[in-house]
Amino acid sequence: MDIETLKTFITLANLANFSKTAEQHRVVQSTVTNRIKELENEVGKPLFLRDRKSVTLTNAGQHLLQYAQKIVALKETAAAELSMLGAYAAILRIGSVHTLYDCHLHNYISAYMDRHKDVAVKVVLDHAGKLLQHLHDDIIDICFCYRAVTSSQFLCLPFELDEFILVTGGNNDTYPQGIESSELKNLTMLFSDLITIVPQSWFSAVFPKYYTFPLEIDVGSKLIPFLEDGRGYCLLPRSAVRKELASGSLVEISVLDAPLPQAQSYLVLNRKSTKLKAVQNWFALTGKGHCAREEAIGGGAVT
């Protein structure tokens, strides 16, 4: 299958519009139509249902989309890594959810690059589900997320334990002595997807079933400017707001009657990746994942 045709197919599946797809790929609309027809002839099934108002994937199209995305991603990864190998001895491919990168990984990666100048580091930031799929497809070597993974293919090791705290803008002095947990539901609470890693039992005990957040952003760090502007309160890992607490642009409000939950993050990798020298170097530097490091050393390293 032609890579450009697959890219066009993926774009059309996402945009559901022939003219917008043509514009994005800088071709005329007839080229998009021809590419899709060629792909449908190749697979022997219609991939889209078309009418004047909509373009939707058929069942065959939905099935092909998963493979097309993998093929294109692997091709682009292979091309990038082949070009890197001209200047570097190895490549370390890291995937992380945004908050773990902001809170912890930046310093580790910086130290790794200082110590291993012959290794190129590639970082992908995304949501856990997509990163774990990348790990399964060998697009990345290590994944950092808040999801514990149980699989014979993967090693899942504790990484960092973060405590959640209640924060608001530095000029907000409404609760200098703290707040009861029963009062949280009455605050203007801002939402990030980090709250989804809080145990559901704790969340349900504090917030009504259909609690409405005035602002939702799926990356926790993007809420910080709104909090600094005094637009509400949020539950965030302490490590995510360390600098803001130190500068006073955010303040912590104590919850008086109950401890706030903690969030355990994990390092996940394919068992075979423990034999990669670049991965072993990561464990040696960070001290995280002792069991994986021992398995890697025991199994011998490859570059």
| Torsion angle in degrees (nearest 10) through CA of 10, 55, 47, 26 | -40
Q: Which residues pair with 138 in a beta bridge?
A: none
Element (H, E) at 29: helix 29-43
- Just give the CATH number of 82-160+264-299: 3.40.190.10
pLDDT in tens, 245-293: 999 999 999 999 878 888 899 999 998 888 888 999 999 888 765 444 4
As a whole number of angstroms, the distance between CA 55 and CA 141 comes to 36
- In CATH terms, 162-263 corresponds, of 3.40.50.1580, 3.30.70.1350, 3.90.1490.10, 3.40.190.290, to 3.40.190.290
CB count within 10 Å of CB 59 equals: 10
Question: Which pair of structure tokens corresponds to residue 1?
Answer: 């299958």
DSSP 101: I
The reply to whether 162-263 shares the fold of 82-160+264-299 is yes
Q: Phi and psi dihedrals of 272, rounded to 5?
A: -70, -20
Helices then strands, counting H and E runs in the chain, come out as 12, 11
Nearest 5°: CA angle at 96, between 64 and 129? 35
Query: What is the per-residue pLDDT for 85?
Result: 65
Instruction: For domain 3-81, give the CATH number.
Output: 1.10.10.10
| Ranges 18-27, 45-54, 241-250, 262-271, most confident | 241-250
Question: Could you tell me how many residues make up the chain?
Answer: 303
Site of tokens 């190129």: 120
Handedness of CA 35, 38, 44, 45 (dihedral sign): positive
Mean of all residue pLDDT scores within the chain = 85
Domain boundaries of the chain, sorted by first residue: 3-81, 82-160+264-299, 162-263
In sequence order, which residues have a C-beta less than 8 Å from that of residue 29 and are 6 or more positions away? 18, 19, 22
